[in-house]
Structure 1
Amino acid sequence: MTQTRQKPKGERGKGGYDFIRNGIDDYPLPARLVYNFVAFVLWLFSSIVWPTRFERLDELVDHVRERGTVIVMNHTSMVEPVVFIVGLWRRHVRVRPIYKVEFEKIGPAKWLFRRMGGIPVDRGSADLKALKAARDALGRGECVLIYPEGTRIKNDDQPIKVHGGFAMIAQMGKSDVTPTAVVGAADPYKTRPTHRRKPRIRCGRPISFTELDGTNRKEKLAEMERVAMERVYALRDELRHDYPGLW
């Protein structure tokens, strides 16, 4: 009697394979080939066009060997998620970026983003599917990359509204939050050719819930969001000081 192959979780049904709920290393072989090919091409391209200097990245890699972390970063350009994700890909760390579901209105973007590990989120609702996907990713040892500012910040005069939720993901995944900052990925003052950006990315120390003030879950979540973003901006300001002229 022929044995029927059991399909992986999320593969059944009208929508086909569920890239959101399954681990990157568990993707079907064709999808893994696409993932690694695209990551290699982006790494090669960014190494030439956007040469990036990482600081304290080895500490982050060592930290996530057994369990993932929620990485929060300031957002100035579409350059920084590319160079950051492929930088960690080269160190065999899988990063799942959270992105706005509006991007999925663009067919090719939806096809590619999901195969590159992206998790779409509807910020206007309690998106339980995205929360659970991010929680499961952390449990597998993947990192979840979130830009709490929600949009690219183009200059220091632009109002910033920090979107919460990353602390809840970390708590659901029994993980921590790692503040990270970038400068040099954007050039709002047009001081150099835009095709020759030189990003500088600095990773901070992971923040555990156990070190935070608060007597209940709600207070702990609010304190994590406050402390994490405070440290993101502190790292950003340090980078600006260390690399004058980079924004």
Structure 2
Amino acid sequence: MKRRKYSTSFQPLIYKGIANIIRIFLKKLYKLEVKGIENIPLYGPVIIAPNHRSSLDVLAIAVSLPRPIKALGKIERFQYPLLGRFARFLGGIPVNREHADLSAVKGGIEALKRGEVLLVFPEGTRLRMEKKEVKPKRGIGYFAAKMKVPVIPTAIIGADRIWPPEKKVPSLRGKIKVIFLQPVYYEGEPDRAKEEEFTNNIMKQIEAVLRRESLNYEEN
């Protein structure tokens, strides 16, 4: 499918306006808290790598960052005529998970070459509550090895309790916290095994924070 190009000046204005509205909503309803924002570079390419357990994850990341994002997402969400086009307009990059999607890979690389923020979920899909772990996909390691850009491991806490994949609508109660960890860099030449190990290490950092924060969440 041919990508439609939008005005580079008009798009950020719409994105910022929508992000501001959603940010107010998440802060008021779910007491959105953001930590580690100082770890996000204000300029240049960067990959945001969060856990993915909720339909709220993309929104939580988008409104927590000081910069617009380009997000890789499953192609099914882009197949609705109006919503799909709007998602692309706001920076969505569709991914066909049935096979190696070279178009999505190209879209991610182009975004990084332009110095943008690329959102990639290591787990590749939303995990259900009963499935606590899944083997991370290689994507983050591939992009990091090819482009030599910083990767920010990111933990999203609480969103899975509010709107897990099992539910069609979100709960109106709960808290969301987003924690951006220090940037990590891929070292050496591109190598499939090393890229997989790099991604696994990113996920281990995130899981460590999730375990720690889940205890605090229970106590509160």
Same fold per TM (> 0.5)? Answer: yes
Distance 1:15 1:147, change over 3 A: closer
Matches within 5 A, 1:6-25: 17-18=4-5
2:90 to 93, 103, 116: 116
Aligned equivalent of 2:167: none
What RMSD in Å do the two structures reach over aligned CA positions?
A: 2.8
SS at match of 1:186: helix
Alpha-carbon distance in 1 for matches of 2:208, 2:178? 13
Confirm or deny that 1:27 pairs with 2:8: yes
Please say which structure displays the higher CA radius of gyration: 1
SS at match of 1:244: helix
Contact map agreement 1:135 1:170 (CA 8 A) in 2? no
Aligned equivalent of 1:52: 32
Aligned equivalent of 1:87: 64
Alpha-carbon distance in 2 for matches of 1:176, 1:101? 26
Distance 1:216 1:139, change over 3 A: closer
Alpha-carbon distance in 1 for matches of 2:117, 2:190? 26
Alpha-carbon distance in 2 for matches of 1:18, 1:237? 42
Q: How many residues align?
A: 215
Alpha-carbon distance in 1 for matches of 2:191, 2:136? 20
Structure 1 unaligned spans of 5+ = 1-13, 20-25
Contact map agreement 1:80 1:199 (CA 8 A) in 2? no
Aligned equivalent of 1:10: none
Contact map agreement 1:136 1:173 (CA 8 A) in 2? no
Alpha-carbon distance in 2 for matches of 1:135, 1:203? 22
Deviation at 1:15, TM superposition (A): 5.1
Matches within 5 A, 1:143-222: 143-158=117-132, 160-187=134-161, 194-210=171-187, 217-222=191-196
Structure 2 unaligned spans of 5+ = 165-169
Query: Which one scores higher on RCO, CA 8 angstroms, separation ≥ 6?
Result: 2
Deviation at 1:164, TM superposition (A): 2.1
